[in-house]
């Protein structure tokens, strides 16, 4: 069976990756979204196993020592990681998988799986990003400042990605992501082949 496509999506906190991914999921129901493990506490409305696997520091370190992560990173003082066996299972079953991970994790995936499609999502401006982080209302003033400083550093990393999308409007950005994914799946170098022709007698 043809392996699924691995898609890596990164972008600064508050750029709207979550909202865009929800719209993308509606457009591409066959696309799977990886659920990461994290040591940060759940935000209101977040559900264990759907948004993240919320782990204790000990549990995360144990998995790390066992080599269970395809990639992991310390982001805003908390650990985040993608579980290796979940990724291999989805791809081996021929399904496409999107990882929404930070720039450090993307670098690790790029090294191990150079066939992955990498996409960077940028805000239309830093002012727009600040407004979105404040508007989300889930972070206090110190965290907001930390996230904005991190965002400025993260923006530099766009050069290491194959695609850059600016998230001006959710639906338009989701449509753009869908078209990137569909185009990548049409690449002959990625194994796209014509349907087998019926041989007439």
Q: Which residues bind ligand 5GP (CB under 6 A)?
A: 13, 36, 40, 71, 73, 75, 80-82, 100-102, 104-105
- For ligand 5GP, which is the closer residue by CB, 66 or 198? 66
* Sign, CA torsion 130/136/137/142: negative
CA dist., res. 106 & res. 10, Å (int): 7
Tell me the closest approach of the beta carbon of residue 125 to ligand 5GP, in angstroms: 19
- Half-sphere exposure (CA, 13 Å, Cβ side) for 106? 24
CB 77 within 8 A of CB 62: no
Of 5 and 98, nearer to ligand 5GP (C-beta) is 98
To ligand 5GP, the closest distance from the beta carbon of 84 in angstroms equals 11
Among residues 36 and 184, whose Cβ is nearest to ligand 5GP? Answer: 36
Least Cβ distance, residue 36 to ligand 5GP (angstroms): 3
CB of 188 vs ligand 5GP, minimal distance in Å:
31
| Residue (of 104, 120, 100) closest to 166 by Cα position | 120
* C-alpha span between 136 and 6 (Å, rounded): 29
- Report, in Å, the least distance between residue 171 CB and ligand 5GP: 21
Which residue, 27 or 54, is less far from ligand 5GP as judged by CB? Answer: 54
Closer to ligand 5GP by Cβ: residue 82 or 167: 82
Instruction: Tell me which residue has tokens 């043809």.
Output: 2
Contact (Cβ atoms closer than 8 angstroms) between residue 33 and residue 100: yes
Q: Residues with Cβ < 8 Å from 126, sequence gap 6 or more?
A: 148, 151, 152
């Amino acid at each position: 069976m043809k392996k699924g496509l691995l898609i890596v999506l990164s972008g600064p906190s508050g750029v709207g990756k979550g909202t865009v991914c929800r719209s993308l999921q509606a457009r591409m129901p066959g696309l799977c979204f990886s659920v990461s493990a994290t040591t940060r506490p759940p935000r209101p409305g977040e559900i264990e196993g759907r948004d993240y696997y919320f782990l204790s520091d000990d549990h995360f370190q144990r998995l790390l020592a066992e080599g269970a992560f395809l990639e992991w990173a310390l982001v805003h003082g908390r650990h985040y990681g993608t579980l290796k066996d979940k990724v291999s299972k989805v791809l081996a079953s021929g399904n496409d998988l999107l990882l929404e991970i930070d720039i450090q994790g993307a670098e690790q995936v790029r090294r191990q799986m150079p066939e992955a499609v990498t996409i960077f999502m940028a805000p239309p401006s830093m002012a727009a990003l600040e407004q979105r982080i404040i508007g989300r209302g889930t972070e206090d003033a110190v965290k907001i400042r930390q996230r904005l400083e991190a965002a400025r550093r993260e923006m530099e990393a766009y050069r290491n990605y194959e695609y850059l999308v600016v998230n001006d409007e959710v639906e338009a950005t989701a449509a753009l992501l869908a078209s990137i994914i569909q185009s990548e799946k049409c690449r002959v170098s990625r194994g796209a082949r014509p349907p087998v022709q019926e041989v007439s007698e």
